Amino acid sequence: MEERMNIYKLLPGSYEAMSGLSDFVKSLGLDHTLSELIKIRASQINGCAFCLNMHARDARNFGETEQRIYALPAWREAPYYTDRERAALALAEAITLVSSTHVPDDVYNDALKVFTKEEIAKITMAVVLINSWNRIAVTSRTLPRD
């Protein structure tokens, strides 16, 4: 498999623009573990090998266990996640699959039970960001790196 293109070379400034949004999302102070779980789950849904590789490694560096990383596709059936993580994962899935789900009221209301609206806004921005990175990497077929 080959990379199709390097969008950042073709469109100078595009990486800096995305990095600026990344810096903004990091500045929001979302919990590192929660942030990485969101990134991994969205990347699984989007089939982004580059981002899966990167964020699984980042999650491990923040102390995440292999068991929880491996169980993410089945998080609803796995006992390893907190109520907050479950609500964030459900919200991340709904936002990622927005054309199918339109973020159902029950998902949003469940998130409101464990997060403030400000925290939901932060999670939303984190999901929007990883979905943007996923779409760039999948379209350009960016290959995972060691």
Residues 84-107 have a mean pLDDT of 98
Q: Please check whether residue 5 lies inside any domain of the structure.
A: no
Residue where the block lists tokens 């969008």: 7
Long-range contacts of 114-122 (CB under 8 A, 24+ apart): 114/83, 114/84, 114/87, 115/84, 115/87, 115/88, 119/30, 120/91, 122/25, 122/28, 122/29, 122/30
- State pTM to two decimals: 0.96
Q: Please check whether residue 89 lies inside any domain of the structure.
A: yes
Q: Please check whether residue 4 lies inside any domain of the structure.
A: no
Three-class secondary structure of residue 111 per DSSP: helix
| CA atoms of 72 and 12, how far apart (whole Å) | 35
From the list 113, 65, 67, 66, the residue with the least C-alpha distance to 90 is 113
Q: What is the count of structural domains for the chain?
A: 1
Whether the predicted pLDDT of 27 surpasses 90: yes
Mean pLDDT of the chain: 98
Specify the CATH number for the domain of residue 39: 1.20.1290.10
Q: What percent of the chain has pLDDT over 90?
A: 98
Q: Please check whether residue 113 lies inside any domain of the structure.
A: yes
What is the span of the domain harbouring residue 50? 11-140
Secondary structure letter of residue 143 according to DSSP: P
Res. 1 pLDDT band, cuts 50 70 90: confident
